[in-house]
Amino acid sequence: MSGTVVTTRRRLGKAGPEVLGIGLGCMSLSGVYGPSDDEAGIRLIHRAIELGVDHFDSSDMYGWGQNEELLGRALKGRRNGIVIATKFGQTRRSGGANGVDGRPAASAARMPSIPSRRCRANSRSSTARRRPRRAS
């Protein structure tokens, strides 16, 4: 892939936003695979944006919210034109095994904390929303 620049854009869903064909999955920025460094993660996100990445994937289970908070800090002042996809519904269980609770009532109970406390990602499971670019 040396010297190759990906410029192909793809539409998300039938009427969703268009994004670069390659996005950035953020799971590894939250210590899922070992110790993490928030400042290095923020630098990586900033560099990805400089290179044209406009689609970031996160989840409330990546660091149990830490990933979305990191993404929110990294995107502060840079949010225009960026699409964030997030997934939710994972639950912690004693003994280390995760559970899943995607019932509407359980999801609605978690929703108030996700947009305000984290990266203000959309509030629908596994969907994405682009913040419109502001006129210059």
Looking at the annotation, which residues are catalytic?
Answer: 62
Instruction: Kindly list the distances between the CA atom of residue 29 and the CA atoms of 6, 46, 48, 111, 119, in Å, as whole numbers in the listed order.
Output: 23, 13, 13, 22, 14
Distance CA 130, CA 124 (A): 13
Between CA 34 and CA 67 the distance in angstroms is 14
Exposed, middle or buried, 106 (CB in 10 Å: 0-12/13-18/19+)? middle
